[in-house]
Structure 1
């Protein structure tokens, strides 16, 4: 189960902090295509969580994808293992609000700074994706492939510079840009390389670039 690091039930991970294999009993509602809740899923651990370089939490459930599909006819989404492309048509699917936001990948921010946290190579939406509080952790889906290319995590609400809820973009030369009303996601293509056979986390795996504890 994919979410944000800042959605972790034990609070925001500190800058530089990486959490692995932390016990959890968090529950998640399983929605069908009509956004009707058909089941409650439960986690037994936080496999991985950080707000450093990216903003991601990955939970392990007490059941399997196969069992969920067998019982409810709902398949898990697949995480794309290649970098997303500017211009791609995307959908941000919010389970919390039971709402879909459609727009395109506008481009990428070299660094996105918000409060004490800095994220690398963040995905910026075009202005049509007016995501709101409560959409954090939503999958960002490539409309053409149906695969997850990012996880929704923030937006500049008030035009402030680099404060909480007001991230700023910083380019390779250190120039700061503020885009009030524009929203962002963190890429997920790095994740598959860090999971080996049977979806076991291996941060030492070849090609795994996720931050390590």
Structure 2
């Protein structure tokens, strides 16, 4: 059993289907270009060979992609809300690996040292590792065994996601370790801070 595995949730980079909040201010073409840049950054950060990498695409798995082309196992996200999708991905991957983390493609500030820290914390018996995002969500979640309850009763895409998840974990007496707080790129403000 390979020890460490990373799940990456991504969407196919298609005009009008990615970064829709950004597109309202930037236009669909600029939003698509921003998303493609985020995909490339995520690929660069995760290309290390020290972990197994699973890329869970939303919708149909692309036959080929300009991103994540080598060393990534392609899978499809299940249908449902974000919590169900993440829980399903953990259910699929955790039996194969002793430490699993999940990320999206929205955080250009995530780096390899933070990824390594998350796995180190899991190796040192943390039940849950979580990377809080400045918008109240999280950019990374890691666990050693499935704690499906942390995906239930969460209002996804709100500023309460991180707080609710941690509250559920503490209520279940899980040991929780927090990573540094980072910014996701979701709004025009996030975008301009990132670009400057």
TM-score (norm 2): 0.30
Q: Looking at both structures, which has the greater relative contact order when contacts are Cα pairs under 8 Å and sequence separation is at least 6? A: 2
